[in-house]
Chain A
Amino acid sequence: MRKKNILIIGLLAALLVVLVSSFRAGAESESPAEADAARVDSSACVYPKEYMQTHHMQVLEDWKNTAAHEGPDAVHETADGRKFQKNLSTCLACHGSNRYFCFSCHAYANVTPNCWNCHISPLDTP
């Protein structure tokens, strides 16, 4: 009789464990974290400095054309295998720390790109 009781209690405990773990699995699949993307900031640029000085417009043009359409799949992979989300804020995560980074050069070259018509310029941030 006692053995039978122990068996029943054991079975109930096992059932409880299975139930609890299945509920938890359900709750976890709920998190929108499954949509998470490539990292936004890094300490090294996507291309070498010299290349970016002459070609950042082409890089940004490509990012601009693909970022919205591909959404989370718009990922830039560097030659050494690092991955970045194609987004202007990926650039500004580093370059935003110098508020004049874009402007000093653009003023010198007398160019007025229209990025800041919509994107919030580092000069406008407090």
Chain B
Amino acid sequence: MMHNDRREFIRKAGIGMLAGMGAASGILTGGGFERTTSAAWAAVPGEHGRRWGMLIDTRRCREGCTLCIESCHHTHNVPAVKSPDETVEWMHKEDGRELLGSLCSSTAALPALCNHCVEPSCARACPTDSIFRRTDGIVAIDYHRCVGCRSCMQSCPYGEVSFNWSDPRASLKNPSLDYPTRQRGVVEKCNFCSDRLVRGKKPSCVEACPEGAISFGNLNDPSSEIRKLLESSETLQRKPELGTRPSVFYII
């Protein structure tokens, strides 16, 4: 009798723990297909009402097109470094399988950028608080503080942080005058166009895409276009199992 009770208890505890883990990650697993649920974009309690997010409709993304990347890199003076092991990127295109895992059947190159995670491991790792999460959900870098230790590069599970091995100005032919450059020895990554949002403009990749494949908006506003798209489509995030809670979503 005693024995049976204990078995029952262990069994129930195990089921409870699994369910708890599923709920905490915002992911429900059913039939091998992971779906992002509303928990993935629910408001973080005690924070500002706004959480910027992006949705990339990969069905509309043209093969071989790099207009979003070109526009982003020009707007933010991202240096086009020649040497392949010193590349600096805010946005790039990567094989769909590599990006989203085996759930994505497409091997076409899809746009990838910093996910502006709700639980950013890069910010946890930074010893100088140079990379941090703002109240509007943007994970930003203060280039004034960065000491170039590259802890953030090591801890970002998506490889979205780049380091300036050489003077970036040497690789900039036609700099945009609206945004600073960086200097040798600091890291950089996508800033979700915080410089443009503050002037009431949409991100430059969103404007540059001729197919309108990229949507941007406030994930905490139930009436925003991005929320409606998220609720009406099956979407994926990159590596959701890690619990970083990305703010960039993909329709495949």
A: residues with CB less than 8 A from B are: 25-26, 29-37, 40, 64-65, 68-73, 85, 89, 117-120, 125
Contact = CB atoms under 8 A, between A and B. Distances in A.
B123 to A, nearest CB: 12
A71 B140 contact: yes
Given A30-B225, A71-B134, A72-B136, A35 B200 contact: yes
23 contacts: A26-B223, A29-B221, A29-B224, A30-B217, A31-B200, A32-B217, A35-B136, A36-B198, A36-B200, A37-B198, A37-B199, A40-B199, A65-B144, A68-B142, A68-B143, A70-B134, A72-B194, A73-B135, A118-B180, A118-B181, A118-B182, A118-B183, A120-B181
A30 B53 CA distance: 12
Nearest to A66: B142
Contacts of A73: 135
A120 B223 contact: no
Contacts of B239: none
A85 B197 CA distance: 13
Contacts of B200: 31-33, 35-36
Contacts of A32: 197, 200-202, 216-217
Main secondary structure of the interface of B (DSSP, over half): loop
A95 B225 CA distance: 40
A119 B197 CA distance: 19
A32 B198 CA distance: 8
Interface residues of B, number: 32
B142 A69 contact: yes
Contacts of B250: none
B221 to A, nearest CB: 6
Nearest to A70: B134
B175 interface: yes
Contacts of B50: 34-35
B175 A72 contact: no
A72 B48 CA distance: 12
A13 B202 CA distance: 35
Contacts of B217: 30, 32
A29 B198 CA distance: 16
B177 interface: yes
Nearest to A74: B198
Contacts of B216: 32
Interface in B172-197: 175, 177-178, 180-183, 194, 197
